[in-house]
Amino acid sequence: SALLEVKNLQVSVGDREILHGLTLSVNPGEVHAIMGPNGSGKSTLSHVIAGKPGYDVTGGQILFKGEDLLEMAPDVRAAKGVFLAFQYPVEIPGVATMTFLRTALNAQRKARGEAEFSTPDFLKRVREVAASLNIPQEMLKRGVNVGFSGGEKKRNEVLQMALFQPSLCILDEMDSGLDIDALRVASEGVNALRTPDRAMVVITHYQRLLDYIVPDHVHVMSKGKVVKSGGKELALELEANGYAQYQEAAA
């Protein structure tokens, strides 16, 4: 059965409706790309799945592993295996990245009823994963995302994903602000996390990212809905013909 099922989701901020009945079904092992123009509601969808406050769900349902996700607090969603890599990762001055990773990881393990990592085990894991992502040890001593370049922030998000081992990874415009080398490293990190029981939702405005993270399914969002779904060839078709046809269809 589906890992994530979004059914006819309607979401408002204040008195403005942003998602107007969005439906999406993601099975374990699949990579789904969500493409769409700026303002189509891609980040809103990712925020609502992760449980970011400030959104009113006025209709529809989200099931994760068959359970009502909207009933769960954000930390419970994370413990159950939902991970969102934000389009704009937050900076946390005064909290070293290493300390943040350890605290967050142990909190999740505790919520899952798993034992905390010992200090040597934790350090070993972080160092291995960081090395695979070209993240220097020095970066892990700095405040979370403080003074990180765009590429470093995204690699830090992939590092978190690799440590937390979520069952659903949502990547919101991971490619924004990345040069081609940084994009390649981050994408390789994501691809290394593809497994038969983990799913990924890759949100992007551009087709380029999907040359690196090749999706099984592509969905086009326009004006708060999925207006077309297809295979990976749909991304190429969009690159060639643009979003305008779908915006007219959605209006």
Q: Binding of Mg ion at residue 204 (CB under 5 A)?
A: no
Judged by CB under 6 A, the residue of 3, 4, 18, 35 near ligand ADP is: 18
Residue 87: CB minimum distance to ligand ADP, A: 7
Residue 205: CB minimum distance to ligand ADP, A: 8
Q: Binding of Mg ion at residue 38 (CB under 5 A)?
A: yes
Q: Binding of ligand ADP at residue 56 (CB under 6 A)?
A: no
- Enumerate helices (H) and strands (E) in the chain, giving the number of each: 10, 12
C-alpha 48/C-alpha 153 separation (Å) is 22
Whether 243 and 221 have beta carbons less than 8 Å apart is answered as no
Residue 11, contacted partner among ligand ADP, Mg ion, none, CB below 5-8 A by kind:
none
Residue 170 CB-half CA count within 13 A = 23
Judged by CB under 5 A, the residue of 18, 32, 36, 43 near Mg ion is: 43
C-alpha 163/C-alpha 177 separation (Å) is 24
Judged by CB under 6 A, the residue of 54, 66, 120, 196 near ligand ADP is: 54
Q: List, in sequence order, every residue forming a beta bridge with 11; answer none if it has no partner.
A: 19, 57
Site string for ligand ADP, 22-51 (x = CB under 6 A): --------------x-xxxxxxx-------
What lies within 8 Å, CB to CB, of 171 at 6+ separation is 85, 157, 190, 200, 201, 202, 203, 213
Q: Which is nearer to ligand ADP, 41 or 89 (CB)?
A: 41
Contact residues toward ligand ADP (CB under 6 A) are: 13, 16, 18, 36, 38-44, 54
